[in-house]
C-alpha cells in the first residue's frame, strides 16, 4: 500500500487534525457551524499535507450520500448472502449506500482489495475476510477510515469488532459426547476456510486431548462433489463416525455418501454442520448444525459503523454466541 501514501486523502487530514471527516468537509466548504479555532487547525493541516479537496469532501458537508464499503470473501455462500441482506436492509433504513468488494482465498488479492477500498473514498468499511490479519486491518484504520471488522480483534478509536462465538459450544458438544462415545469423532479441515474454522478445530483437538480420547482430522476441498466421492471411498473401510464439517453442503455430501454406502444416519454416521443455514432444514434427514443469526450480524455491523462514523457513543466489541440446533443427523 506504499503507493497510496503519495496522495493525501481527506481521511489523513481528519486523522492528523483529530476531527471527523464531516468536520474537515465543513471547513473546506466554509461552514458557519465550525468554530474558528477548529477551522484554523484543519486549514493548517490541509496546508501542511498539501491536501487538494475532492468531490467527496464537498458531498460530506451537504450530507448528500454516505457510502459504506463491504469486503467479503465471496457473495456466493448462503451464509454470506444472509449477512449481506442484513447489511443492505439496515443501510437502506439509515440512508447509506453500499459498495461491495469481494476477494478470493488469496492474501495478496485481499491486500489489493484493501487498496481499492481506500482509493474508492468510501466513508467507512465493514470487513469480513479471514485472509487478512490485524496488521493489514490496522493499516486501513490508519487512514482514518471508520471500520467494523467481523471475526477480527482490533483496538483503535475508529474500529469496531464483532466476533462469532463457537469454541465454547464446540467444547461442550465434544465433552458431552465423550461421556458415552460409540464412534470416533472426526473434524473436516477444509482448505482455505480461514481463521474461524482454525479456532474451532483447535477447540475440538484440545478437548479430545484433555479427555485422552482418540479423534481424526480429515482434509477436504470446499466442494460437494469432491467431498461426496472422497467419502464414498472412505466409507468402504470405515463404517462409523461422528463428523464435524464447515458448511451444510459438505455435511450433505458426507450424509449422502453414507446413505449411498448402505450406512444409517445417525446410528452409524453422525454429522454436524458448523455454519448452519436454511439448507440444514431442507435436507432429508435434516442436518444438525450450529446457528448464528447472520442477518442480524450484518444489520448490527452497519449500525455499529454508522455510530462510529457519526462519533456516537456505542459498544464497539460484540461477541455473538452460536447455538447448537439438534436435528436428525445426530443422536
Q: What share of the chain is helix, strand, coil (3-state, %, to 5)?
A: 45, 20, 35
Q: Report the distance separating Cα 263 and Cα 235, nearest Å.
A: 8
> Over 50: is that where the pLDDT of 1 sits?
no
Residue 108, exposed/middle/buried by CB under 10 A (0-12, 13-18, 19+)? exposed
Say how many C-beta atoms besides its own lie within 10 A of residue 276's C-beta.
Answer: 26
Q: Please report the pLDDT score of residue 31 as a whole number.
A: 76
Minimum mean pLDDT range among 41-45, 62-66, 100-104, 304-308: 62-66
Please check whether residue 251 is in contact with residue 271, taking contact to mean a CB–CB distance below 8 angstroms. Answer: yes
Q: What is the DSSP letter of 144?
A: T
Please check whether residue 302 is in contact with residue 83, taking contact to mean a CB–CB distance below 8 angstroms. Answer: no
pLDDT confidence bin for 327, thresholds 50/70/90: very high
Interacting residues of 198 by C-beta distance below 8 A, sequence separation 6+: none
3-class secondary structure, 11:
helix
> Over 60: is that where the pLDDT of 62 sits?
no
Q: Report the distance separating Cα 95 and Cα 45, nearest Å.
A: 31
Q: Please report the pLDDT score of residue 113 as a whole number.
A: 76
Percent of the chain with pLDDT over 70: 86
> Over 90: is that where the pLDDT of 75 sits?
no
pLDDT confidence bin for 57, thresholds 50/70/90: low
Query: What is the pTM (predicted TM-score) of this model?
Result: 0.76
Selected residue with higher pLDDT from 151 and 5? 151
Q: Report the distance separating Cα 270 and Cα 4, nearest Å.
A: 51
Q: Please report the pLDDT score of residue 294 as a whole number.
A: 92
Q: Which of 331, 325, 319 is closest to 267 using CA atoms?
A: 331
Q: Report the distance separating Cα 321 and Cα 328, nearest Å.
A: 23
DSSP sequence for 196-219: HHHHHHHHHHHHHHHTT--EEEEE
Say how many C-beta atoms besides its own lie within 10 A of residue 219's C-beta.
Answer: 9
The conformational region for residue 194 under phi > 0 = left, psi -120 to 50 = alpha, else beta, is left
C-alpha cell, 253: 455430501
Percent of the chain with pLDDT over 90: 52
State how far Cα 191 lies from the chain centre. 17
Which pLDDT tens digit goes with each residue over 13-36? 888 998 877 788 788 888 777 889
Amino acid at each position: 500500500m506504499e503507493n497510496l501514501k503519495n496522495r493525501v486523502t481527506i481521511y489523513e487530514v481528519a486523522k492528523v487534525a483529530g476531527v471527523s471527516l464531516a468536520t474537515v468537509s465543513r471547513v473546506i466548504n466554509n461552514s458557519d457551524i465550525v468554530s474558528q479555532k477548529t477551522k484554523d487547525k484543519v486549514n493548517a493541516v490541509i496546508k501542511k499535507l498539501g491536501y487538494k479537496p475532492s468531490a467527496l469532501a464537498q458531498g460530506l458537508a451537504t450530507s448528500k450520500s454516505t457510502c459504506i464499503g463491504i469486503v467479503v470473501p465471496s457473495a456466493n455462500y448462503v451464509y454470506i448472502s444472509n449477512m449481506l441482506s442484513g447489511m443492505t436492509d439496515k443501510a437502506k433504513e439509515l440512508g447509506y449506500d453500499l459498495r461491495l468488494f469481494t476477494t478470493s482465498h488469496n492474501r495478496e488479492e485481499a491486500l489489493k482489495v484493501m487498496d481499492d477500498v481506500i482509493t474508492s473514498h468510501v466513508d467507512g468499511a465493514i470487513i469480513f475476510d479471514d485472509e487478512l490479519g490485524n496488521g493489514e486491518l490496522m493499516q486501513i484504520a490508519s487512514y482514518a477510515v471508520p471500520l467494523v471488522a467481523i471475526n477480527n480483534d482490533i483496538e483503535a478509536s475508529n474500529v469496531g469488532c464483532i466476533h462469532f462465538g463457537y469454541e465454547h459450544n464446540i467444547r461442550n458438544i465434544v465433552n458431552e459426547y465423550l461421556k458415552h462415545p460409540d464412534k470416533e469423532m472426526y473434524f473436516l479441515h477444509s482448505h482455505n476456510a480461514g481463521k474461524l474454522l482454525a479456532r474451532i478445530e483447535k477447540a475440538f483437538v484440545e478437548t479430545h486431548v484433555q479427555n485422552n480420547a482418540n479423534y481424526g482430522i480429515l482434509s477436504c476441498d470446499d466442494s460437494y462433489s469432491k467431498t461426496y466421492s472422497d467419502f464414498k471411498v472412505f466409507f468402504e473401510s470405515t463404517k462409523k463416525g461422528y463428523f464435524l464439517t464447515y458448511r451444510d453442503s459438505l455435511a450433505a455430501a458426507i450424509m449422502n455418501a453414507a446413505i449411498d454406502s448402505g450406512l444409517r444416519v445417525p446410528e452409524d454416521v453422525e454429522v454436524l454442520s458448523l455454519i448452519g443455514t436454511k439448507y440444514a432444514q431442507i435436507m432429508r434427514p435434516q442436518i444438525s448444525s450450529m446457528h448464528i443469526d447472520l442477518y442480524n450480524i450484518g444489520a448490527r455491523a452497519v449500525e455499529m459503523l454508522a455510530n462510529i462514523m457519526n462519533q456516537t457513543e456505542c459498544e464497539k466489541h460484540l461477541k455473538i454466541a452460536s447455538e447448537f440446533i439438534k436435528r436428525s443427523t445426530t443422536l
